[in-house]
Amino acid sequence: MTRSRSAGCDGAAAPRPFVWEKSYPDGRGWDTPIAISTVTAHFDESVARNGSRCALMFRDRAISYDDLGARVAKAAAAFLHLGLGKSGAEQGCIALYLPNTPYHPIAFYAALKTGARVVHLSPLDAERTLLHKLADSGARVIVTTDAGSLLPMALKLAEAGAVDTVIVGEDEAFGGAIPRSPIPDAPHVLRLSALMDEAPVVERWPPVRPEDIALLQYTGGTTGMPKGAVLTHANLTAAVAMYDAWFTIQKVGTPGEDRVIGVLPLFHIYALTTILLRQIGNGNTILLHMRFDVEAVLHDIEVRRATQFPGVPTMWIALANHHDIDKRDLSSLKQCLSGGASLPVEIAARFKQLTGLTLRGGWGMTETSPAGTRIPESCENKPGTIGIPMPGVELQVVALDDSSRALGIGEVGELRVRGPNVTSGYWNKPEETAAAFADGYLLTGDVGYMDEDGYFFIVDRKKDMIISGGYNVYPQMIEQAIYEHPAVSEVLVVGVPDAYRGEAAKAFIALRAGFEPFSIEQLRDFLSSRLGPHELPSTLEFRAALPRTPVGKLSKLDLVLELRRGQAAGPAHA
C-alpha cells in the first residue's frame, strides 16, 4: 500500500511546490511515494530475504536473520499460548521493560505478530510512572530480563497488583559476566525460554492490518503524567519508508552492507525506528550494546568497521572530548547521525575539526514516529538549522495566537506537521488529542521559522519541556515531586544549559518558615524514588520568593528571561 507525498492526511491535495523542494538534489524527491505496510510483514519479508546474514551482534555473539525469525515465531507462539494477542476485535497489550538486549527485538516483533499492541516502559522510569503507564495502557503482562536490576522492579509491580504475569528473558543465554537478579519460583513468574520450548506450533497467525495499533509510546505530559502516543503499523512503516527514501535521495548508506552501532535505547522512538525497524528492514547488522561506552563504540568503528552511528548529542560530546579521538581510525564511518535533542553547533564543528566527519542532525517527535526533518548532505552554511522536511512530511509555521493562520518565510511561530507517520492522538486522552491538532496538522509546541530555502530553525519551545541527554523531561512532574518535600513552600523548575546533556533541570525553591536550605545532593536523594535519574535536577537555588504574574500566579517566564540575561541572583548549590 502506498500514499502519495503530495496528499495530506485527509487525502486532499496539498499546494505544490513546497519551498523546501528546491533544496532537494535537482529539486526532486520529496514526493516519493511512501510504502505503508505492517511491522510484522516488514520483518517477515526481511527475514526471508536475508536468511543467513547477521542481524544482531551482541557480546560477540551473532544472531542471523533466520535465527532471529525463528526466535520471534517461538516467542509469539508462547504469547498466544498464554492467551495474549489479538482475539476478534479485542487487542491485547504487552509491556516491554527491557534494556538493549536481543530480548527486545524478539519480544517486540513477537508481540506484534500476535496482533497485540506494545507499550514501552523505560528502565529510567520511577515506580509511580511505571504504575501509571501500566494502568493507562491496560497491559497486564510485563516482559523483562534478569540482567541488572529490572527484574526486582518488575516483581514489585506485580506485588502491587499492576501486572498479573512477569515473563523473564534469561540473560545468561547470551554470555557475559554481568550482575543478574535471581528469578523466583512463583506461579506468576515465567521464564521465556521455557515458554518458547513448550509453545505449540502456530499454523495461522492473527490478522494484522496497517491501521492496527502497534505501539503506545509514552511521552510526558506538561500537565501531568505521561500520555501514550498511538502509533499504528502504518505510522511506523511510513516513518521507515521516509528515512529510506531520504537516504536514497542523499545517496548515503548501502542496504544489506551497513553495520550500525546500536547504543541508543530501543525503548526510545528514535532508536526503535532508525536502528531496529529500519536496519532490520534493510538487512543490515546491528552492533547492539546495553549501554553507551566510548571505548566500546570506538572498538565497533575500528575493529568491526561500523559504517553508521546514530547517537544523541551527549554521545557526540563524549567522543569529541575523548583524549585521543583525533588519532583514532574512524575511516569506516559513512554516517554520523545525531537526534533526540538539539545538537550544539560548536560540538558539530569541533567534532569535524578533530575527525573530519560531519554530524548530520534533524528534528522529530515521538508523535511523528519520529520522522520529521533532516539536514541534507549538501548543507554547509546554515548553522543551527534542523534541516528540511523528509519525503512526505509537511511542515508549516503558524501564528502563536492562531494555530490555523499560516505564516510566511522568516516569520516566527509554532511548527505544525502532518504526514502518514503522524499519530492520530493520545491513548485515553480525547481532550488532549483534540487540542493537539489544527486543520489536520499536529501542533508540535516548537517555536521557529522557515527561511527562503525551506530550511527550518527552532528558536524556543512553546511548552516547558526540557530535553536532557536526548530524553524528554517535564518540569511540572519534577515540581510535583519536589512539593512533597516537607521544607518546600513553592518551586519552579526550568531548563538551563548543560555542557554535557545539552539541557538540565534547575529547581528554584522558596522554603517554608522555620526550615533551613539543603544541598542538591540531599534533594536528589529525596527525589530518587519519585523520579527517574534523567529527571533529577542538576542545580538548585533558594529564593526568598519566586516571581509572580500580575494576577498572582508563579511566573516561570520571568525566571527564564532572567537566566537568559545572565542576571540570576541568589546563592546557588551546585
CATH number for the region 39-220 comes to: 3.40.50.980
Cα–Cα dist 25/40, whole Å: 33
Give me the DSSP letters along 237-293. HHHHHHHHHHHHHTT---TTT-EEEE-S-TTSHHHIIIIIIHHHHTT-EEEE-SS--
Q: Is 296 exposed, middle or buried (0-12, 13-18, 19+ CB in 10 A)?
A: middle
**∠ CA 225-226-228, rounded to 5°:** 140
Cα–Cα dist 62/52, whole Å: 10
Give me the DSSP letters along 6-54. TB-TTSPBPPS--GGGGGSGGG--TTPPEE---HHHHHHHHHHHHTTSE
Give the pLDDT band of residue 423 (cuts 50, 70, 90): very high
Identify which has the larger pLDDT, 453 or 552.
453
DSSP 548: B
Task: Characterise 558 by phi-psi region: left (phi > 0), alpha (psi -120 to 50), beta (else).
Answer: alpha
Q: Is the dihedral of CA 105, 110, 115, 118 positive or negative?
A: negative
Cα–Cα dist 395/414, whole Å: 10
Phi, psi (deg, nearest 5) at residue 314: -60, -35
Q: How far is CA 440 from CA 173, 232, 425, in A?
A: 48, 17, 11
Q: Which residues of 354-384 are buried (b: 16+ CB within 10 A; e: fewer)?
A: bbebebbbbbbbbbbbbbbbbbbeebeebee
When mean pLDDT is compared across 202-211, 296-305, 463-472, the lowest value belongs to: 463-472
Q: What is the pLDDT of residues 29-56, one digit of tens each?
A: 999 999 999 999 999 999 999 999 999 9
Q: What is the pLDDT of residues 516-570, one digit of tens each?
A: 999 999 999 999 999 999 999 999 999 999 998 655 678 887 888 788 777 434 4
The three-state DSSP-derived secondary structure of 470-493 is CEEECHHHHHHHHCCCCCEEEEEE
On the question of a common fold for 2-37+227-385+418-440 and 475-573, the answer reads: no
Give the pLDDT band of residue 4 (cuts 50, 70, 90): very low
Identify which has the larger pLDDT, 251 or 343.
251
| Mean pLDDT value across the chain | 91
**∠ CA 294-283-66, rounded to 5°:** 105
Q: Of 468, 473, 460, 540, which Cα lies nearest the Cα of 504?
A: 468
When mean pLDDT is compared across 191-195, 222-226, 445-449, the lowest value belongs to: 222-226
Mean pLDDT along residues 122-139: 94
For residue 243, pLDDT beyond 80: yes
For residue 325, pLDDT beyond 70: yes
The three-state DSSP-derived secondary structure of 147-188 is ECCHHHHHHHHHHCCCCCEEEEECHHHHCCCCCECCCCCCCC
CATH number for the region 2-37+227-385+418-440 comes to: 3.40.50.12780
Cα–Cα dist 104/420, whole Å: 26
For residue 278, pLDDT beyond 70: yes
pLDDT reported for residue 555: 82
Instruction: Please say whether the beta carbons of 211 and 119 come within 8 A.
Output: no
The CATH architecture of the domain made up of 475-573 is: 2-Layer Sandwich (3.30)
What does the block give as the cell for 553?
Answer: 500566579
Helices (H), ranges, 341-474: 345-355, 430-436
pLDDT reported for residue 16: 65
Give the residue carrying C-alpha cell 495499533.
213
> Which residues neighbour 525 within 8 Å (Cβ) at sequence distance 6 or greater?
none
For residue 103, pLDDT beyond 60: yes
**∠ CA 155-111-82, rounded to 5°:** 65
Residue ranges per structural domain of the chain: 2-37+227-385+418-440, 39-220, 475-573
For residue 91, pLDDT beyond 50: yes
What does the block give as the cell for 380?
Answer: 554547509
pTM here is: 0.85
